[in-house]
């Protein structure tokens, strides 16, 4: 599997399971139509239709692309980490039961863990 080169900050978050500062990521307030892909391996993760404004400082989604994200207990056991199912890149955390959307789930994702691919016009 081909992995993209990462900057030191991308590596801190994606490989070493860090977190970017709230309200600092490029996709927190971003609502264009398209697909969010893994910055490390370019695998599709989320569709823009599943993104919502959770007012938490990070991009929030209430559904991943089927099979794209895996859930793992965080090292401290208090949260559930989400990773790219293809390459294991750290994406952020998932929270169930907050009732922010009808799907009742929030994927809280670091912007730095993703890239955005806009839908082609006329699609």
Range of the domain at 65: 8-118
Domain count, the chain: 1
**According to the model, what pLDDT value does residue 76 have?**
79
Look at residue 2 and tell me if it is in a domain.
Answer: no
Look at residue 25 and tell me if it is in a domain.
Answer: yes
Sign of the Cα torsion 71, 105, 114, 78 reads: negative
Look at residue 54 and tell me if it is in a domain.
Answer: yes
**CATH of residue 12:** 2.170.150.20
**According to the model, what pLDDT value does residue 121 have?**
73
**According to the model, what pLDDT value does residue 122 have?**
55
**According to the model, what pLDDT value does residue 78 have?**
86
Query: What pLDDT tens digit does each residue of the chain (123 aa) get?
Result: 899 999 999 999 999 999 999 999 999 999 999 999 999 999 999 999 999 999 999 999 999 999 999 999 987 788 999 999 999 999 999 999 999 999 999 999 999 999 999 998 755
List, by residue number, the catalytic residues: 108
For residues 66 and 64, what is the distance between their CA atoms, to the nearest angstrom? 6
Look at residue 1 and tell me if it is in a domain.
Answer: no
SS3 content of the chain, % helix, strand, coil (to 5): 10, 35, 55
């Amino acid at each position: 599997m081909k992995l993209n080169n990462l900057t030191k900050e991308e590596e801190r978050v994606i490989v070493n399971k860090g977190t970017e500062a709230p309200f600092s990521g490029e996709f927190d307030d971003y609502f264009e139509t398209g697909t969010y892909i893994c910055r490390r391996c370019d695998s599709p993760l989320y569709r823009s239709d599943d993104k919502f404004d959770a007012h938490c400082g990070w991009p929030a989604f209430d559904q991943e692309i089927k099979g794209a994200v895996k859930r793992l207990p965080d090292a401290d056991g208090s949260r559930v980490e989400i990773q790219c199912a293809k390459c294991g890149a750290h994406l952020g955390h998932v929270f169930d039961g907050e009732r922010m959307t009808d799907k009742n789930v929030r994927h809280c994702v670091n912007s730095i863990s993703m890239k955005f691919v806009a839908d082609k016009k006329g699609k």
